[in-house]
Structure 1
Amino acid sequence: MFRKILFALLTTLVLSNAHAQETNTTQLVYIIPIKKTIEPALLYVVRRGVDEAVRNDADAIIFEMDTPGGAVNAAEGIISVITKTDIPTYTFVENDAYSAGAIIALATPNIYMAPGSVIGAATPMMMTPMGGVQEMPEAVEEKMTSAVAAMVRSAAEQGGHDPQLAEAMVRADMEYSVNGKVISKEGRLLTLTNEEAQQLVGEDQHPLLSKGTVKDIDALLETIGLPNAEKRTLRVTAAERIARLIAGIAPILMIIGLGGLWLEFKTPGFGIFGIAGISCLLLFFFGHHIAGLAGMEDVLLFFLGIILLAVEIFITPGFGFMGFSGLLLIFISFISAMSEHMPGKWQPISFEPETFTLPFLKVVLSFIGSIALVAIVGKFVPQTRMFQSLTLDSVSPDIEDHEELVGQEGVARSDLRPGGTAYFNDRKIDVVTYGDYIPRQTPIRIVEVHGNRIIVEDISLG
C-alpha cells in the first residue's frame, strides 16, 4: 500500500514538472498592426508593444502591415524603436506597404508578403490640411527627397537590405539593377509585387527583398519555426490617442503646472491654483507614461522635488539647499519624462546630447514661462474679484469697513503668502499683502481696507 502511494506521488511530481517545463517553454510572439495611415499615435503603440515584448521575453515581433504610408517623422521614430531591441523582428505585408510603411519594413531584417501584396513608392509628398497632395517648390522637393533617401538607406542598412534598392523607392530619376539585371528603370519609383520582391538575384541567388510569400500570420509562424507560439496583438487605445495630444502641449502643461503650484504655495488654504497645477502635471506625466517615455521613477523624482521645495518654503523660509535640490529634481524628472528610453528599461536610448537637447529646451522654456506666469498673476490677479474670493473667506467677520484701521502697525502672526494672520493691539486679524511674501514676526502696517479685505505692507526695512 505504501509503495502504491509513493509511486502515485512520484508520478504526480514528474507530470507536474513536465507540465511546468512545457509552460515555461511556451513561445510568445507580439503582433503589432501597422494599418491605415501612419501617424504619431502609432509610434506610441509600437513603443508600448516592443516594451511589453522585451519585458515578457518574447521570441519574435511581427509588424502586420497594410498602409498607404503617412508621417515620415512617425516612421523615423518607429524605426528608432525597432533597432533598439534584440528580439527578432519581422514584417508581414498583408496588402500594401507604401511610402512610410515601406521604410519601416526595410528596418526589419525579415520581410514576408501575402499573395498579391506590394511594397515600395516611398517618395515624400506634402499634404494639404484637407488631405490632398500639395505641389512643392523644386528646391524644397529636392531637400525633402534627399533627407528621406538618406533615412531609407539607413533603415535598409539596419535591416540588412540593399540601400540602393531602398533609395530607388524614393528617387524616380535612378535606375536600379543587380548584376546587370534591371529591376527598376529610370523614370519610375521602385514598387515590387510579392513575386518580384522574392525573386532570386545576384551570384549567390539571394532574395531581392522578401524572404517568401505566405498566406497569413499563422503561415508565417509556421515558416519561421514558431507554429505553436502564443500570439498577442496590440491595438491603438483611446488613451494613446490622448497621449498624442498631451505630448504636443507638454510645455503648456508644465508652465501652468509649475506656475499653479508656486501660486498655491503663496496663497492661504488650497484653491484653484493648486487644482490647476496638479491637474496639468498629472496630465503631463500620464501622457508621457502612456507614450512609453515617462516611468514611475520620473514621477517619484518629481514628487520628491515638490516635497523638498515645500519644506524650503514652509519650514525653512528663504531659499537654500533644499529649494535648489527640489527644483533640480523637478527639472531632471521633466527631461527624463520626455526623453526616449530603451525598450523595457529605465535608461535613455543613449547619453548623447541629441537625446536630451529637445526635452532640455522645452523644460527651460517652460520654467521661464512659469516665472512669467507667476509674475503676471502676482501683479494683476490680486486686484480681481476672483482672487479676493480666494482670500476673503478666512478674514475675521467682525472687521467692518473702518478707515481708522489704515496706518495701524502690528506683527505678522504667520507667514503671509500673501494671506495669513497678524496681531494689532493684541487683536488677531486675517490680512493679505499685495502678493508679496512676508515672514512671520515681521512688523507690518495696514495700508488699505476694503470691506473685510485688510491689506498690509512690510515695514521692517524702514
Structure 2
Amino acid sequence: MNIQRCRGLLLVLLLAFLTGGQAAPGNPVLHLSVNDAIGPATVDYLTRGLEFAQAQQAQLVVIELDTPGGLDSSMRAIIKAILASPLPVATFVAPGGARAASAGTYILYASHVAAMAPGTNLGAATPIQIGAEKDKKPATDEDTLARKQVNDAAAYIRGLAQLRGRNADWAEKAVREAVSLPASEALTLKVIDRIANDLPDLLRQLDGQAISTALQPVQLHTRDAPLLEREPDWRSRLLAVITNPSVALILMMVGVYGLLFEFMSPGSGVGGVVGGICLLLGLYALQLLPVNYAGVGLILLGLAFMIAEAFLPSFGIIGFGGVVAFVTGAVILMDTDVPGFGIPLPLIFALALVSALLLFGLIGMALKARKRVLVSGDAGLVGSLGLVTDVDGDDPFLGWVQAQGELWQAQSQTPLHPGQSVRVVARNGLQLAVSAAAEQPAQGE
C-alpha cells in the first residue's frame, strides 16, 4: 500500500467518523470509463482511480463499462480493489448498445451497485479458453482441467452474487452455459439493481440510498453532487499500447534488430539505445500478459537463426528455419483466446516477410562483397603505387617506400631515387619488391 493510498484511506476514515456514515452533500462523484477489453492497463486505470477518489473525498465511484471481456488475472485484481474499497462503487453498463460480457459480468456482480442502460446486455461468463474444449471427447486431461476452471469460475461468481444479494443461480448459469441477458430481464431476475437512462438519471436514483462498504454503511447524496471526470492518463495509455500483444511482438523484434545493428556498426549508439528500450518494453509487456513461454522461446530462436544466417555460409537453410520458428512461436505466443489479446495472422506473416527480406538483403550484400577486389592486406598492397622516401647510400637498389600510409623497406632491379614513384610488385616478409611506376610488373614476381 503506497503513501497516497494510505492518505486517502485516512481521509475516508476521518470523514466517516465525523459524519457518522453520512456522505456530505458537497462530496463529489468520480466517473471512470472503460471501453475496451479488460487488461493490465484497465487494472492500473481503475485501481489508481479508486485511490484518487479517496484522496478527493468522493462519496461514490461510478465505472461506466462497455467491454467484451478480458483477462482473468486482470479481472480478479479489479474485483479485489472494489471489494476492499472504503468507497461505494457503482458499475454502470452504458450507453445503449454496450455490454458487460465475460469479465465485465464478474465486475458488475462485485460492485456495490449494478446498473444498466436500456439496450445493453451482460453474461456469457464462461472462461474463453475453455469453450473450445466442449467438442472434444471426454476423459482427457484437458477436459478435467476445463471442468476445474469452470467450477472455480462458477463458485467465484456465486460468492460475489451472495455477497451483494443478487441472483446467484443465474450467475452460475452464465458461467456454465454462457447465457446472456438484456437489461430489462436482468432487473426482473435481480441480477442488477437499477436501470438508468444515463449517468445523471442513475445519480438521481441513488440519492439517499445506504450502501455497505468495506468500512461501514454510507448514505449517498448524489442528486446535486459535483461530478469529477477522470480519463486515462499517459501512464495508462502507454500501458494500454505496449500490452497489446501485437505491439509487444513488434517491440521485441525492433529491440533485437536494433541491438544487432549496434553490434554490427558500433559507435552510432542509435541502434543500441532504441533497441534496448524497445526490447525491455516488449519483455515487460509480455510478463504482464498470459504468454506461452514456448512461443517466446521459438520467437527468440527464430530471430537468432535469421541473424546467424548473415554470418554463416548455410545458403539460406538456417535463415529459412528461423522464419519457420518465428512464425510458429508468434502463432502460439498468447496463451488465451480472449478477444483483444490475440495476434493477427497477417501481422505475423508480415513480420516474417520483413525479417526474410532483411535476411536475403544481408546475404546479397555478403555475396557482392565476396566478388569485390580486395583493397587491404597483401592483395591490396601488391599493384599499388608508392613513393621512394630514402635510398641506401651503399646500395642504390635498396630504399624506403611510402605505400598505403606505411613505410616499407623496398628493393628494386633498377636504381631508386628519392621522390620517385614506384609500383609494388611483390611482398617478401617485411620487404617489398618494387619497380618504376612507368614499368609493368614482371610476370610471376
Question: TM-score of the superposition, structure 1-length normalised?
Answer: 0.44
Question: TM-score of the superposition, structure 2-length normalised?
Answer: 0.45
